[in-house]
Amino acid sequence: MARKALVLGATGLIGGHLVNQLADAAHIGQVVTLTRRAAPHPAAKVRNEIVDFERLSDCASLFEGDLLFSCLGTTRSRAASLAKQRRVDVDYQLQAARLAAEAGVAHYLLVSSSGADPNSRSAYLRMKGELEREVLRLPFPRISIFRPSLLLGDRAEFRPAEWLGSRLLPLLCTLPGLRRYRPIRGEQVAARMVQVSNEPGPAVETFTLDEIFHY
């Protein structure tokens, strides 16, 4: 039976590719993108819903479906403060996950990050780790977490650190023992997520670094 997929972060690097791939996937009957601003898509089975992330509970019915793909995220510079970044990277995603769990979504698929750890010294990795910890407490029948390394691809905004890393890491990762840390393209992460959503799996699974390439 074709399934209904919900997508957070549909306009981002991974999310954009994910929506395109879900639109072409035979096991998906409908894709609902939940965005702050209008994000139309040419595919007939993709429906865009504009939501106020500060009032997600007002649109709880939109979280009814079979799969929730969570690719939402921002940077500290774009959010203008660490507190505002946390609002997007943790609070919005956790609230959406809770609504989806309450609505009976069976499979939650989260884009996290390599090194995610609630005890990390890095604020970014700490936020990712905290989100993972909290969603694992929710009653989803199945949770799949993806921890990619540096993401490559065209973004709407220029990120200097990522630009530099995209040039240096491919060279460094040719050294023995470092290959599994090589950067990955956004469409590759999306493809792995789509594949996992169409296969049976354990109640909880985490795909780290080079494991995401294997599809």
User: What is the set of active-site residues?
Assistant: 124, 128
User: Which residues partner with 6 through β-bridges?
Assistant: 32, 68
CB 48 within 8 A of CB 41: yes
Q: What does the block give as tokens for 68?
A: 């929730």
Cβ neighbors of 61 (< 8 A, separation 6 or more) are 103
In a 10 Å sphere around its CB, with 0-12 CB exposed, 13-18 middle and 19+ buried, how is residue 184 labelled?
buried
Q: What does the block give as tokens for 25?
A: 């996937």
